[in-house]
Amino acid sequence: MILIKKLCRTLDLTDVFKMNKGLEKRKKIFLRYADSFNLYIKAQGGEAIYGEIGGKIYRIDKAIYVCPLCLRKFTIKAVEGENPLLTLEHVPPKALGGPSKILTCKVCNNTSGKDLDSAIMAGLKAYSFFTGKPHSSIPSRFIINSKRFEGELRYRGKNEITLRLNENYNSREVINLPPYFEQSEGRVNFILSFPSNKRFRNAVLRVAYLQAFTLFGYSFVFNDNIEKIRNHLKDNTSSLNVNMLSQGFSNDLVGIHLIREPKEVSNYLIVLPYQDADSRYNVGIILPGPGQEKWNNYLSYPEFIKNNFAGNDGNMNITLTTLMGYKGVREEKEAVLHFYTLWE
């Protein structure tokens, strides 16, 4: 009886509830997309799913979830336990207000996921600062008479910028700042910290890729054009351009669209909402549709914009088919091939 009381005292019922809730959500997502995967296989004329171990091909009769990033196959056991192999993925990142919609494997989520998500947050933070948004800030290193300090620049509005030191600097160093200013005649050099344009665009592309998967499922993942996008995300040396539209998008355009005109850029457009503590941004990313023509449009997009819209800040008039309220494979079994058939 004493042992039972001790165990009861150490049991945190809140943690147990959260674990059970997380498990149920992972199972629900697993079964939804496993069913979609099975329907996709049958729609392609297949009768079953097969795997390979030790050079031997075998039939898989269990429900299968394929990680949309690395294409590894998992059974439902992968969502179980304290450290599941399949983890909830927030699209957009959780720190920017995104909900958990799909599963990715632990490796994809913990490695490239966290790194690229942080690039989005840092990139948007820098954008707020450079566009003069009040109370925005950017990590900075200050060099005052050869003395380096870590901190941030904060824009307070009305062209006023303040310099703030990190909390890890003790009061003695802060008190000793005035002599450094005097010796440098008031001059301060700044080294600003923000992600490269390529890293930021790759991070946003990853989110757009996962958002498209939530809607189209495996007809999207196993398309030849999308395989090239996925390979680009894996390869840090890839020179493939990430096509991001520069014009702002209103909140009612958040979602997925088909670009109809100009025909030279006809492809999918994913408009994603990103929200931090101070601001909300809607970013448009182009993803290629199916077929060689759509891939050619994707590759030629930067040159087309340069030749036709360079004098208009890169903005252009586009005609869209907007899929308002489209839930895709999350709610419609018939959506399993929509990635292709929406263009017909």
Q: Residue 327: inside a domain, yes or no?
A: yes
Of 192, 209, 229, the residue at which a domain comes to its end is 192
Structure tokens at 277: 């503590």
Place of tokens 């566009």: 131
Per-residue pLDDT of the chain (344 residues), as tens digits, is 434 444 444 445 455 445 578 899 999 999 999 999 988 988 888 766 666 666 666 566 678 999 999 999 999 999 999 899 999 998 988 877 788 999 999 999 887 667 777 788 788 778 777 777 888 888 888 776 677 778 888 888 777 887 777 766 544 455 455 554 555 555 667 677 777 788 888 889 999 999 999 999 999 999 999 999 999 998 888 889 999 876 678 888 889 999 999 999 999 999 988 776 666 778 899 999 999 999 999 999 988 888 876 555 556 678 999 988 888 998 888 889 999 999 98
Q: Of 73, 74, 111, 64, nearest to 89 (Cα)?
A: 111
Q: What is d(CA 184, CA 190) in angstroms, rounded to the nearest whole number?
A: 14
Please report whether residue 2 resides in a domain: no
Instruction: Determine, yes or no, domain membership for 8.
Output: no
One domain for residues 187 and 202: no
On whether both 215 and 160 belong to a single domain, the answer is no
Q: Is 178 exposed, middle or buried (0-12, 13-18, 19+ CB in 10 A)?
A: exposed
Count of domains observed in the chain: 2
pLDDT given at position 155: 84
DSSP type of residue 55:
T
In a shared domain, residues 188 and 284 = no
Alpha-carbon torsion (34, 40, 46, 47), positive or negative: positive
Residue 11 counted as domain residue: no
Residues 320 and 185 in one domain: no
Q: Contact at 8 Å (CB) between 343 and 258?
A: yes
Neighbour tally for 144: CB within 10 Å: 18
Range of the domain at 204: 18-124+197-341
Residue 232 sits at the vertex; the CA angle it makes with 90 and 88, to the nearest 5 degrees, is: 15
Are 103 and 157 members of one domain?
Answer: no
In this structure, the answer to whether residues 313 and 267 fall within a common structural domain is: yes
Of 148, 168, 192, the one marking the end of a domain is: 192
Per DSSP bridges, beta strands 255-261 and 268-275 are antiparallel
Question: Do both 132 and 104 map to the same domain?
Answer: no
In this structure, the answer to whether residues 184 and 330 fall within a common structural domain is no
Predicted pLDDT at 167? 64
Which helix or strand (DSSP H or E) is residue 177 part of? Answer: helix 177-183
pLDDT value for 80: 94
237, part of any domain: yes
Q: Is the peptide bond before 92 cis (omega within 30 degrees of 0)?
A: yes
307, 220: one domain: yes
Phi-psi bin for 82: left (phi > 0), alpha (psi -120 to 50), beta?
alpha
Residue at 91 is within a domain: yes
The residue type found at 67 is C
Q: Please give the Cα distance from 94 to 99 (Å, whole number).
A: 6
Asked if 204 and 295 sit in the same domain, the reply is yes
What per-residue string of b and e applies to 207-239 under the rule 16 or more CB within 10 Å gives b?
bbbbbbbbbbbbbbbbbebbeebbebbeeeeee
207 shares its domain with 326: yes
Decide which of 151, 175, 192 is a domain's last residue. 192
- What is the residue-wise DSSP string for 217-238? THHHHTSHHHHHHHHHHH-TT-
| pLDDT given at position 175 | 46
CA 78 to chain CA centroid, Å, is: 23
Same structural domain, 88 and 156: no
Residues 6+ away with beta carbon under 8 Å from 63: 30, 31, 34, 35, 38, 75, 76
Residue 34 has a pLDDT of 93
- Residue 203 maps to a domain: yes
| 1 three-state secondary structure | coil
